[in-house]
Amino acid sequence: MAKEPKEKTPETPEETAAETTEETAPETFTVTKEQMEKMEALAAQLSEQQDKFLRLAAEYDNYRKRTAKEKEGIYADAKIETLTAMLPVYDNLERALAQFGDEESAHKKGVEMIFTQFKESLAKLGVSPIEAVGQPFDPEKHNAVMHVEDEAFGENTVAEVLQQGFMLGDKVLRFAIVKVAN
């Protein structure tokens, strides 16, 4: 059997104290003025590089946030343009239904079904019609093209909608073209 080497254990308290002081005593060095200046220059250079790194990291974070915001804006703008281009279809379907009057026919029923489906599609995309008839005139949502004298409506109240207006969330896609009572 091979004997394992034993760890060296101090035999006297003086040896224990000597080993402890050797381990904990800091080493001292003598440095020349040139070496000290060189160390200070390196410390300043390190500080400058750390500052550049922090600025670069902050700049990148701002870039990332800015591009994310721009992407959202581009998507919102594209959605608005697309929906605005589809609103004349809504107007034409509305006019087509008005042409039938009270007549009941299969053709009218088909146009009503298409119109209903189109309105549901707009609603799914977040588009809502601007309520106007009987509401007070709001220049932020309505575009007044006519004024009428009508006792049935109060002053500055929308009497008739000539073209339906729409909103996407809280943004106006198209102003409602209205007739206002005075």
β-pairing, 142-148 vs 176-181, is parallel
Structure tokens belonging to residue 115:
């119109």
Structure tokens belonging to residue 64:
């990332």
- Separation between Cα atoms, residue 122 and residue 79, nearest integer Å: 11
At 108, which helix (H) or strand (E)?
Answer: helix 106-124
What CATH number should be reported for the domain whose range is 127-182? 2.30.22.10
End-to-end Cα, the chain, rounded Å: 116
For the chain, the structural domain boundaries read 32-125, 127-182
What CATH number should be reported for the domain whose range is 32-125? 3.90.20.20
Among residues 121, 163, 111, 119, the alpha carbon closest in space to that of 142 is found at 163
Give per-residue pLDDT as tens, 106-154.
Answer: 999 999 999 999 999 999 999 999 998 889 999 999 999 998 888 888 8
DSSP 8-state code for residue 165: -
Q: What is the pLDDT of residue 102?
A: 84
Amino acid at 130: I
- Separation between Cα atoms, residue 119 and residue 91, nearest integer Å: 11
Give per-residue pLDDT as tens, 13-40.
Answer: 555 555 555 566 678 888 898 999 999 9
DSSP 8-state code for residue 3: P
Q: What is the pLDDT of residue 71?
A: 94
127-182 and 32-125 share a CATH fold = no
Give per-residue pLDDT as tens, 52-87.
Answer: 999 999 999 999 999 999 999 999 899 999 999 999
- Separation between Cα atoms, residue 85 and residue 77, nearest integer Å: 12
Amino acid at 85: A
